[in-house]
């Protein structure tokens, strides 16, 4: 075994030596690079072509990717500049009325803005216009819609509970859910929140056309002001469950004072330059319609506890034969 290994090792050494001898005896012509046939054909077709290594190809690929990124960035910057120029010039294309994008702009608001507008409707301050200080050219329908929807359910449910608590001790009373009150509340609240602002906006547009000193808000701003002014009635309607009529009227007066102040402080600056009779009539109509909604909800949904007189029992007729008559002597 050992001798064969030595012989194999010697053979291996001999083969290695033989290869090195062949390399050493090779002529310079044998050591030249050989060209493949396809490469030779390509070079003959295009003598100016050069070969590129894998490193050069990878660097070129990275360079092309950088160029594409630069182009995309430049295109996005140009598009942003074009949109900004359209917004500044007021020539930005408006979306279609039947498209979702048209209505999406009306709900483009966050929670902090809604809370700030609700706070402004609860704490009206003299000299602070609700449109200028809270809407800031960004009116929304998100807050007014949910305020009106919440008010509908709070008025209907609170009125139902108030009736139940009022007649709970009556043995002849059988409780039945009054679902029709939800429909009545919905029609009343949403008609007020949409039709009254529409009428006011149309009136201000008419007055501004005849009198240049009278200005007007947009229809969306008018609806937004009316919608947020109704928020005070949500906690008020819940407190109306308390079966004390004097407390209910006190809450009505407080709610009308706060919400009415929001409306007067907002619309007075745009109508005060009109004629004095027209200005006073407009403010009076705003306050009367606002009071009509509050008083109407209280009178319809919340019954007043009335004192009923107990029936006086009638005397029983005398017993005996009714045909018997007494002879007078």
The pLDDT confidence band at residue 56, using thresholds 50, 70 and 90, is: low
Q: Report angle CA 69, 73, 75 to the nearest 5 degrees.
A: 115
pLDDT tens for 95-144 read 666 666 777 777 888 889 899 999 999 988 888 888 888 887 888 899 99
Per-residue model confidence (pLDDT) at position 148: 95
DSSP state letter for 277: H
More confident residue, 275 or 42: 275
More confident residue, 121 or 45: 121
- Across the range 64-75, mean pLDDT stands at 59
The SS3 assignment for 283 reads: helix
Domains of the chain, residue spans: 56-91, 109-301
Which two three-digit tokens encode residue 181?
């009150």
Most confident residue range from 18-32, 130-144, 172-186, 216-230: 216-230
Q: How many Å apart are CA 247 and CA 307, to the nearest integer?
A: 18
Asked whether residue 172 carries a pLDDT value surpassing 50, the answer given is yes
SS3 content of the chain, % helix, strand, coil (to 5): 70, 0, 30
Pick from 298, 284, 221, 224: nearest CA to 254? 298
DSSP state letter for 127: T
CA 164 to chain centre: 36
pLDDT, averaged across the chain: 75
Convert 15-28 to b/e letters by CB count within 10 Å (16 or more is b). Answer: eeeeeeeeeeeeee
Query: For residues 232 and 94, is the Cβ–Cβ distance under 8 A?
Result: no
Listed as own residue / partner, the contacts of 300-309 with beta carbons closer than 8 Å and 24 or more positions apart are: 300/159, 300/184, 301/155, 301/156, 301/158, 301/159, 301/162, 301/181, 301/185, 301/240, 302/158, 302/159, 302/162, 302/240, 302/248, 303/162, 303/163, 303/166, 304/245, 305/166, 305/243, 305/245
Per-residue model confidence (pLDDT) at position 5: 44
């Amino acid at each position: 075994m050992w001798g064969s290994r030595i012989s194999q090792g010697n053979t291996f050494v001999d083969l290695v030596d033989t290869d090195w001898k062949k390399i050493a005896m090779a002529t310079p012509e044998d050591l030249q690079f050989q060209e493949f046939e396809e490469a030779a054909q390509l070079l003959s077709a295009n003598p100016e072509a050069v070969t590129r290594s894998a490193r050069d190809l990878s660097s070129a690929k990275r360079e092309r990717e950088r160029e594409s990124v630069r182009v995309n960035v430049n295109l996005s910057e140009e598009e942003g500049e074009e949109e900004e120029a359209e917004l500044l010039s007021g020539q930005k294309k408006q979306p279609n009325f039947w498209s979702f994008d048209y209505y999406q702009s009306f709900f483009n608001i966050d929670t902090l803005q809604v809370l700030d507008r609700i706070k402004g409707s609860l704490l009206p301050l003299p000299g602070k216009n609700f449109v200028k200080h809270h809407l800031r050219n960004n009116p929304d329908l998100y807050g007014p819609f949910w305020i009106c929807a919440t008010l509908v359910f709070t008025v209907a449910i609170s009125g139902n509970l108030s009736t139940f608590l009022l007649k709970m001790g009556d043995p002849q009373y059988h409780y039945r859910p009054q679902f029709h009150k939800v429909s009545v509340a919905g029609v009343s609240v949403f008609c007020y929140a949409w039709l009254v602002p529409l009428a006011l906006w149309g009136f201000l547009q008419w007055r501004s056309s005849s009198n240049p000193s009278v200005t007007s808000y947009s229809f969306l701003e008018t609806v937004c002001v009316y919608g947020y002014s109704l928020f005070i009635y949500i906690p008020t309607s819940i407190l109306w469950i308390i079966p004390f009529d004097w407390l209910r009227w006190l809450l009505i007066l407080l709610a009308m004072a706060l919400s009415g102040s929001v409306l007067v402080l907002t619309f007075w600056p745009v109508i005060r330059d009109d004629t004095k009779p027209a200005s006073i009539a407009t403010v009076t109509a705003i306050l009367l319609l606002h009071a009509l909604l509050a008083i109407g909800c209280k009178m319809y949904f919340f019954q007043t506890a009335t004192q009923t007189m107990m029936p006086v029992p009638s005397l029983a007729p005398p017993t005996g034969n009714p045909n018997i008559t007494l002879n007078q002597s």
